[in-house]
Amino acid sequence: MKKLLFLSLLFAVTFVSAQEIFNAHYRHVKAENVAEFEKLESEYWQKIAQKAVDAGEIEYWVLLRRVNAIGLAETEPTHVFITGYASPEKAFDTPASWWSKGDQSKGTIDISNAVINQFWKTEDRIPGDGKYVIFNYASPKNLDGFVKENSSLWKPYFEKNRKNTGMKFWGMASKVAPHAKGYSTVLTWDGFDKLSDAMNHLSYGGSIDQSILDKTKMNEINPDGFNTRAVMEIISFAMKP
C-alpha cells in the first residue's frame, strides 16, 4: 500500500506546477549485481535520500527497475533514479549534493554503469496510484502540437476510460536537457496497478474509440511514434510525510 501511495504522490501531488523539474539518472546493472545494488540503494541510500527530502534539498527520490531487463546491452538502462526538484532554481542553481553525505564505501557506482542523465519538466498529468509505469519516449516533429494534443485530447480520453484500460495515472513531460540528435524530447508515462494491465496496454490491447482516431493529428505531429517504451517497477523511494 505504501508503494501505491508513493506513486500517487510522485506522479500526481508533487507535479503541481510547470516549475517542477525532475532528474532521471539511468544506470545499467549486470544480473549478478542486481541483488547487491538494490539492497544498498533500498536499505542505505534511501535513508540518505530521505534526510535530503526532510531538509528540503529535494522533493522526492525513487528507484525503479526495468521489467524484463535480462539480456540488455550495457548501453541500455536496467534501473532509473528519479529525483524531484521544486523549481529550476533548486535543480540547477543550487544542485543538491545529498549523496556526498553518505558513506561512499557503500556506493553502487562500482557495480553499475551510468547510461545517461536527463532533466525533464512536467507538462500535465492525471493523478492516481499504481505500481508499474510505462515510460514512453518520442521526438515529435511538432513538440508544441504534441503537448497540446495530449493535454486536450488524450488526457480526457485516458481519464474517461480508466476502468476499461486499468490505467491508474498518466503524465507528460518535455525535455530540459540534454538536447542532441537521437535524444527524445518528450516523455509520457502510463501507470497501472497490475503488470498484466501494463503489458496489455504496451501491446496496444483494447481498441481506441473511432471518435478519437478521427480527431487525432498525431500521425502528423509525431509520425515516427514512440522510439522507446519501457515498463518499470518501483523498488525504493524517499518522500515527504
- Which residues have C-beta within 8 Å of that of residue 26, sequence separation ≥ 6? 77, 79, 80, 114, 115, 116, 117, 118
Check: CB of residue 20 under 8 Å from CB of residue 84. yes
pLDDT along the chain (241 residues), means of 10: 48 53 97 97 97 93 93 95 92 84 95 97 89 96 98 95 90 95 94 93 77 93 96 93 81
Going by C-alpha positions, the residue among 70, 66, 68 that lies closest to residue 79 is 66
Counting Cα atoms < 13 Å in the Cβ hemisphere of 141 gives 9
DSSP-based helix, strand, coil % in the chain, nearest 5: 40, 30, 30
The Cα 91–Cα 83 span in angstroms is 9
> CA dist 169 to 18, 55, 100, 115, 193, Å?
18, 28, 34, 27, 10
Give the pLDDT score at 18. 53
